[in-house]
Amino acid sequence: MNIYINDKLIEDTDKTEKNNILKLVESKLENEIIDTIHLDEVEVSLEYFQENELDLERIDEIKFESKKVEQLITETLKEAEDYLPKLKNALNNSAELFKNGKEADASDLLDKTLEGIQWYLEVINGIISLIDNEELKDKGNKILSDFNQALNRAMIALQNEDYDYLGDLLEVEIVEYLGKLKDFNQELLEEY
């Protein structure tokens, strides 16, 4: 089996253990992260490669594509920059639906919005763990901690079916934290 990193052959091997292959590839990367993997021309994610049973003995070549950490951070922050205003609008719409007694529609929209928020929180946590600027790390962790507390209050209001309070929380507090996260996102973009 041929193993490549960014089209450069690193080894012709009979290794068929995924973890050994990943260790070999990661040992060759310098300030880079695996972005995509091609198994005989079929593109898969790193997560797919790690989590699924693969018959690597039947594969002739594995091509790993990597990106510099800074490049991935910048690309992700730019994607989030476009995404955060959409989350804010969805929260405002959900709050309005709750206040107008349309709980089913509001809950459906809120569920989808929370999935988006979850994505962003995972992304920003990952980025914070990669940055060297301690002041930005601390600031980001503080915003995330406060935001999570506000989200917890919203979930309690939802469980208690206190829809007016939930609408207010979404419209005021949660949207405010999305604004803070947008500003923090911009600070990170300026840093990278």
Tokens of 94: 């959900």
pLDDT at residue 91 in the model: 94
Determine the Cα–Cα distance for residues 125 and 123; give it in Å rounded to an integer. 5
Neighbours of 71 (CB within 10 A): 14
pLDDT at residue 49 in the model: 92
Q: Amino acid identity, residue 153?
A: R
CATH fold of the domain at 71-191: Four Helix Bundle (Hemerythrin (Met), subunit A) (1.20.120)
Q: Which pairing describes strands 42-44 and 32-39: parallel, antiparallel, or unpaired?
A: antiparallel
- Burial letters for 92-110: b for 16+ Cβ neighbours within 10 Å, e otherwise? bbbbebbbeeeeeebbebb
pLDDT at residue 152 in the model: 94
Give strand ranges (E) for 8-153: 8-12, 32-39, 42-44, 61-68
Q: Find, among 71, 72, 64, 70, the residue nearest to 25 by Cα.
A: 64
Residues in the chain with pLDDT values less than 50: none
Q: Amino acid identity, residue 73?
A: I
| Angle made by CA atoms 97, 102, 105, in degrees to the nearest 5 | 80
pLDDT at residue 11 in the model: 75
Give strand ranges (E) for 40-150: 42-44, 61-68
pLDDT tens per residue, range 39-78: 999 999 988 999 998 888 889 999 999 999 888 889 989 9
pLDDT at residue 14 in the model: 67
Beta-bridge mates of residue 36:
65
pLDDT at residue 70 in the model: 86
pLDDT at residue 20 in the model: 87
Q: What is the DSSP string of 37-64?
A: EEETTEEE-HHHHHHS---GGG-SEEEE
pLDDT at residue 150 in the model: 94
Domain boundaries, the chain: 2-67, 71-191
